[in-house]
Amino acid sequence: MALKALDIYKLLPKKNCKECGDPTCLTFAMKLAGGKADIDLCPYLEKEAKSVLGATTRPPIRLVTIGVGERSFAVGEEFVLYRHEKTFYHPPGILFKVSDTDTPDEIRAVTTRVRDESFVRVGADLRFNGIAVENASGSDEAFANAVMTVEKAADLPLVLMAKKVDALAAALVHCGTYRPLIHAATRDNFKEMCALANRHGCPLVIKARGLDELTSLTRACSGEGVRDLVMDLSPQSLSDVITTSTAVRQLAITRNDPDLGYPVFLDATFSEMQDAAIALGIVKYASVVVTAPLSPASARAALTLRQNIYTDPQKPIQMNPGLYRIGSPGNDAPVLLSVNFSLTFFTLEGYLEATRIPCFMLVVDTEGLSVLTSVAAGKLNETLVRDSISKFLVGSEVSHKKLIIPGYAAPLSGRIEEATGWEVMVGPRDAAEIGDFLEKEWKK
Ligand code: SF4
């Protein structure tokens, strides 16, 4: 059960010494209550108070970083069971799996694909995160060579997947300083695996079936000094992915079982329906998802789903307001009014590009609301349009004074004309019809 700021404050030393980086103990207590500070930052806490506060103020799911450098990613530190309660913070890393039985050329091809491939959606660059190397050959040397091939081709986060400690040790000689995720400690080998993780400072996956075994294994590994743990729940079916992962998340979030407060690992290749397993993993709390290299269609689907689930539902994705050019518009080009809800922007932009008619998009600040919502809420109004025309110097870009407004903003047409002195043309409600509209109404 989480403590309130005042309860936390009562347990603090109240020296107001600022050593924690906060101006007062009270502000530090407020941060702790929100899960935004670490109790270890206060050096004056009594041991007893520290253990009480540590158990209640740390994020219920530990933040674990995989890899180093620009492409490293952090997972965990989530606070809610349902996205609409607040938001999900750390999108799962999705890694393509290669095997040490693949040829070096095949391994290089997958690695360079993950290194270079990205696709832009609603203004964000979407990419896969790294490479998982599997010791399918059983040979330590082949595994180390495969890891070396990946390492030489790209600086990407790695998951090292082997049953033998010796094989992992051989591979870690080449990549141990880059924080690869080691997969996996089991009941039988956890002491050796923990020693390896400690020696190289790497995060470690524990693999177990059933909540009791998971709990006892995380406890045992943290007792060995490994704190950056990730849990492979060993699902046997797609329904198992949902039930086990949901149970773990529930117990962790409510702090009923702090030993389950670690990110979850999913090897989607366990299922013949890999795409479905990936989707379930993204939606149901997996933080590291390993998959065979995906077809272009599956790749886009996975990245799109991840982006959708991990955007803040309370903050629409917004574009910067301004005057955007489609093609190379001249001073006789049409000017289309739009809002700064990114989905509206990119949808309209896509259709406008398809028309091949150079034009301007005047994007006004409706705080990320769509046209319909912003009209209903009064955010999109004649004053905003007038001020935006002036602020973004639209009059100096075109020789006419005609403004095409979205169909859903039709009720504002008269008021916009009065406020701006521009002639208003009411465009279609559906962006897909903008091409026909421009052909018929603008070019006539
Ligand atoms: Fe208070 Fe501890 Fe922060 Fe000093 S370091 S201000 S005592 S919370």
235 neighbors 67 (Cβ within 8 angstroms): no
Mean pLDDT within 402-418 = 96
Mean pLDDT within 413-425 = 96
Could you tell me if the CB of 15 is within 6 A of ligand 1?
yes
The count of other CB atoms within 10 Å of the CB of residue 65 is 15
**Of the residues 42, 45, 50, which should be mutated to test ligand 1's pocket, given the most ligand atoms within 8 Å of the CB?**
42
Question: What digits encode the pLDDT tens for the residues 142-167?
Answer: 999 999 999 999 999 999 999 999 99
Given a cut of 60, whether residue 52 has pLDDT beyond it is yes
Confidence of residue 121 (pLDDT cuts 50, 70, 90): confident
**Weakest-pLDDT range from 40-44, 66-70, 324-328, 332-336:** 40-44
**Weakest-pLDDT range from 301-310, 342-351, 357-366:** 342-351
Given a cut of 70, whether residue 194 has pLDDT beyond it is yes
Distance 29 CA to ligand 1 centre (A): 9
pLDDT averaged over the chain?
A: 94
Q: In whole angstroms, what is the distance from residue 444 CA to residue 440 CA? A: 6
Torsion on CA atoms 152, 154, 158, 160, rounded to nearest 10 = -30
Given a cut of 60, whether residue 224 has pLDDT beyond it is yes
Residue 295: its pLDDT value, please?
A: 97
Could you tell me if the CB of 22 is within 6 A of ligand 1?
yes
Mean pLDDT within 313-338 = 92
Whole-model pTM: value is 0.78
Question: What digits encode the pLDDT tens for the residues 298-308?
Answer: 999 999 999 99
The residue whose CA is least distant from atom 7 of ligand 1 is 15
Question: What separation in angstroms does the CA of 152 have from each of 108, 149, 393?
Answer: 9, 5, 51
Could you tell me if the CB of 21 is within 6 A of ligand 1?
no
Ramachandran region, residue 124 (left: φ > 0; alpha: ψ -120 to 50; beta: rest): beta
Distance 261 CA to ligand 1 centre (A): 27
Distance 382 CA to ligand 1 centre (A): 52
Distance 43 CA to ligand 1 centre (A): 7
Question: With pLDDT > 70 as the criterion, what percentage of the chain qualifies?
Answer: 99
- Secondary structure (3-state) at 56: helix
Q: In whole angstroms, what is the distance from residue 120 CA to residue 129 CA? A: 15
Q: Which residue has the higher pLDDT, 405 or 48?
A: 405
Distance 152 CA to ligand 1 centre (A): 46
Q: In whole angstroms, what is the distance from residue 330 CA to residue 345 CA? A: 21
Residue 2: its pLDDT value, please?
A: 57
Using a 10 angstrom Cβ sphere, with 0-12 exposed, 13-18 middle and 19 or more buried, the burial of residue 158 is: buried
Q: HSE (CB half, 13 Å, CA atoms) of 331?
A: 7
Given a cut of 60, whether residue 1 has pLDDT beyond it is no
Could you tell me if the CB of 280 is within 6 A of ligand 1?
no
Residue type, 345: F
Residue 242: its pLDDT value, please?
A: 96
The residue whose CA is least distant from atom 3 of ligand 1 is 20
Q: Which helix (H) or strand (E) element contains residue 130?
A: strand 130-134
Question: What separation in angstroms does the CA of 134 have from each of 93, 162, 415?
Answer: 17, 6, 65
∠ CA 140-266-89, nearest 5°, is: 125
Given a cut of 80, whether residue 56 has pLDDT beyond it is no
Residue type, 403: L
| Phi and psi, residue 228, nearest 5° | -85, 85
Confidence of residue 324 (pLDDT cuts 50, 70, 90): very high
Q: In whole angstroms, what is the distance from residue 266 CA to residue 289 CA? A: 5
Given a cut of 90, whether residue 57 has pLDDT beyond it is no
Among the atoms of ligand 1, which is closest to the Cα of residue 19? 5
Given a cut of 80, whether residue 226 has pLDDT beyond it is yes
Q: Which of 219, 211, 99 is nearest to 150 (CA)?
A: 99
Distance 46 CA to ligand 1 centre (A): 12
Residue type, 252: A
| Phi and psi, residue 14, nearest 5° | 60, 45
Confidence of residue 444 (pLDDT cuts 50, 70, 90): low
345 neighbors 363 (Cβ within 8 angstroms): yes
Confidence of residue 442 (pLDDT cuts 50, 70, 90): confident
Residue 333: its pLDDT value, please?
A: 96
Could you tell me if the CB of 23 is within 6 A of ligand 1?
no
Residue type, 222: S
Could you tell me if the CB of 46 is within 6 A of ligand 1?
no
Mean pLDDT within 52-59 = 77
∠ CA 169-203-172, nearest 5°, is: 20
Could you tell me if the CB of 13 is within 6 A of ligand 1?
yes
CA 179 to chain centre: 20
